[in-house]
Amino acid sequence: MDRDILCGVIAFAIALAYLTAAATIPETAIGDTVGAAGVPHLLGYGLAIMSALYVGQRLLVLRAGIGPTADEEGDSRGVFDHPLAAFAWAAGAVAICAVFIFFFETTGYFLSVALLIFAMCVYQGVKPDIRLAAISIGGAVVFWLIFVMLLDVHMPLGIWADLI
């Protein structure tokens, strides 16, 4: 599918989902004439109409054959030359971050940051050796010093809380 049409279709889906959610906003007596749901409805219908128009316009352009399609235009940076492969690699990075977030409070700040740095480096092709382990731990030490010691942020201790 043409990339721009896909963009319009996704935006339309977002609009529908948003409108469905906006339907549950409660009405109140102390509100105003617009109401709590007023502006959300406006935005939802606005997005639905705009994205539908966009898809229509793109279809017309494609049929008439004027102008390049979005896919032909490509990406000057070549980042999305192979979109599916790029998505797969990005999904992997998202997964690493998601795992990091999920275990953040259990593992504790220090260890999870060290592991995040290690995992992200390995994922990008750095050899998982002692040197990288040292860099990860060193990085975690620096972050610990900045956020916990200097800025006094209450970072989670995790399972290590009892040991300290």
* Residues 91-150 contacting another protein, CB under 8 A: 92-94, 97-98, 100-101, 104-105, 109, 113, 116-118, 120-121, 123-126, 135, 139-140, 143, 146-147
Compute the least distance from the CB of residue 163 to another protein, in Å: 19
Binding status of residue 30 toward another protein by CB under 8 A: yes
- Binders of another protein in range 42-71 (CB under 8 A): 43-44, 46-47, 50-51, 53-54, 57-58, 61, 66-68, 70
Running DSSP on this structure, what letter comes out for residue 143? H
Binding status of residue 72 toward another protein by CB under 8 A: no
Identify which of 56, 67, 64, 63 has the alpha carbon closest to the alpha carbon of residue 8.
Answer: 56
Residue 65 or 163 having the CB closest to another protein: 65
Compute the least distance from the CB of residue 160 to another protein, in Å: 17
What HEC string does 60-126 produce?
HHHHHCCCCCHHHHCCCCCCCCCHHHHHHHHHHHHHHHHHHHHHHHHHCHHHHHHHHHHHHHHHCCC
| Residue 2, SS3 per DSSP | coil
